[in-house]
Amino acid sequence: MVTDTPRNDSLLRALRREPVDRTPVWLMRQAGRYLPEYRATRARAGSFLTMAKTPELACEVTLQPLARFDLDAAILFSDILTVPDAMGLGLYFVDGEGPKFERPIRSAADVERLAVPDMDRELRYVMDAVRLIRRELAGRVPLIGFSGSPWTLACYMIEGGGSDNFSRIKAMMLDQPALLHRLLSIVTDAVIAYLSAQRAAGAQALQVFDTWGGVLAPHHYREFSLPYLTRIARDLLRGDGDDRTPLILFGKGNAPYLEELADSGADAIGVDWLVSLEEARRRTDGRVAVQGNLDPAVLYGSPAAICNEVRRTLASYAAGGDGTHTGLVFNLGHGLSPDMNPEHVQALVEAVHEGSRRSW
């Protein structure tokens, strides 16, 4: 395991709720289509999947936003759907339509055929990318590895792609709950193996994206998403040494469950903009770090408006505790979009660092 501390370790310190000189900031989908250099690499590669499956290209695009902005972390360039792809579902992309699976899960027989993929074979390209990125980062900032949550992965596996109403997975949840639990359990084992392998390859923090947890009614969330997130947090913790690799649980629409998520064993909870950081900090009561939560659409405003919203967000977090920013990782409440202006991203990153300096 590669455990050396990066020169800029503010992300790792904030995740441990230790004081930092300035609040760390990284942005979900920081490598992506809003950057012209990303579009150029993608054109050269021919497709998103070639880019994700070629370690040299994945490394190149991972580093692109760091060359432009003073970000405090790199996030592995990959996708959450690599895991179901490695489980044999056949991931492909249709231009303008997003990801799809050739063989979605539709029956009990489909579920029974699923197995945890071999990380050194089917997902070796991801681990090779992690190792290469660590080498190229040369200790500048930490590298975040990630996975989708079991519920969110199951959504894509059963729907066969993106969905507006989640009709197929919700029908399975209602009519065949034991079958859905069986699938979620296998996917959870795969997620734990995947995150452990990324950690062994050099990822210094890990994030689970529960993008679709918020489409569930509370009793369904507590039955079909939360227990699996908790199992991931507990199992990863058990497999970790003294030099613990922090785990961030990000969820869209997870505000109703902040207390329960803070008890999951994770180090940090990532929240969207439907809850204030003041409330998120108060309700998690210093038990975990908090990550978030600017509405990504703020980036459509002017740089002056962006700075204003960043300051409000920082002040909100400070007001939820002892007046400091300790334990805050600044991020958006969800990912950047392709039509966002890189100069506005620059203004955001600078505003976070300026607004949080010597604040503790």
Q: Please name the residue ranges forming H helices in the chain.
A: 10-15, 36-45, 48-53, 55-68, 82-84, 108-112, 124-137, 150-159, 167-175, 177-201, 218-224, 226-238, 258-262, 277-284, 303-319, 342-356
- Considering only residues 262 through 301, tell me which ones interact with ligand 1CP, judged by CB under 6 A: none
Task: Verify whether residue 92 is a known catalytic residue.
Answer: no
Nearest to 357 by CA among 319, 333, 332, 330: 330
Confirm or reject binding of residue 332 to ligand 1CP (CB under 6 A).
Answer: no
| Least separation in angstroms between CB 159 and ligand 1CP | 9
Respond yes or no: is residue 140 known to be catalytic: no
Q: How many residues belong to the site for ligand 1CP (CB under 6 A)?
A: 20
Asked if 119 and 127 touch (Cβ cutoff 8 Å), the reply is yes
Q: Which of the ranges 2-10, 30-38, 287-295, 341-349 carries the binding residues for ligand 1CP, by CB under 6 A? A: 30-38
Cα 234 from chain centroid? 18
Q: Among residues 79, 85, 210, 267, which one is catalytic?
A: 79
Residue 36 within binding range of ligand 1CP, rule CB under 6 A: no
Instruction: Single out the residue of 10, 23, 30, 204 in contact with ligand 1CP (rule: CB under 6 A).
Output: 30
Asked if 239 is part of the footprint of ligand 1CP (rule: CB under 6 A), the reply reads no
| Residue 41 DSSP SS3 | helix
Binding mask 155-194 for ligand 1CP (x = CB under 6 A): -------x--------------------------------
Establish whether the linkage from the previous residue to 293 is cis, with ω within 30° of 0: yes
CA pair distance 306, 298, nearest whole angstrom? 6
Q: Which of residues 91-110 bind ligand 1CP (CB under 6 A)?
A: 98-99
Active-site annotation holder among 9, 13, 22, 29: 29
Q: Which two tokens stand for residue 12?
A: 């790792």
81 lines the binding site for ligand 1CP (CB under 6 A): yes
Q: Which amino acid is at 308?
A: N
Backbone angles phi, psi at 331, to 5 degrees: -160, 175
The verdict on 145 binding ligand 1CP (CB under 6 A) reads no
- Could you tell me the strand order of the sheet in which 74-75 lies? 74-75, 143-148, 205-210, 247-251, 268-270, 289-294, 328-332
- 335 is a contact residue toward ligand 1CP (CB under 6 A): yes
The residues, ordered by sequence, that sit 6+ positions from 84 with a Cβ below 8 Å of its Cβ are 91, 101, 153, 156, 157, 187
Given 33, 131, 282, 312, the catalytic residue: 33
Residue 79 annotated in active site: yes
Choice between 52 and 307, CB closer to ligand 1CP: 52
Site for ligand 1CP in 49-78 (CB under 6 A): 75, 77
Catalytic residues: 29, 33, 42, 79, 156
Per CB under 6 A, residues contacting ligand 1CP are 28-33, 42, 48, 75, 77, 79-81, 98-99, 146, 162, 209, 211, 335
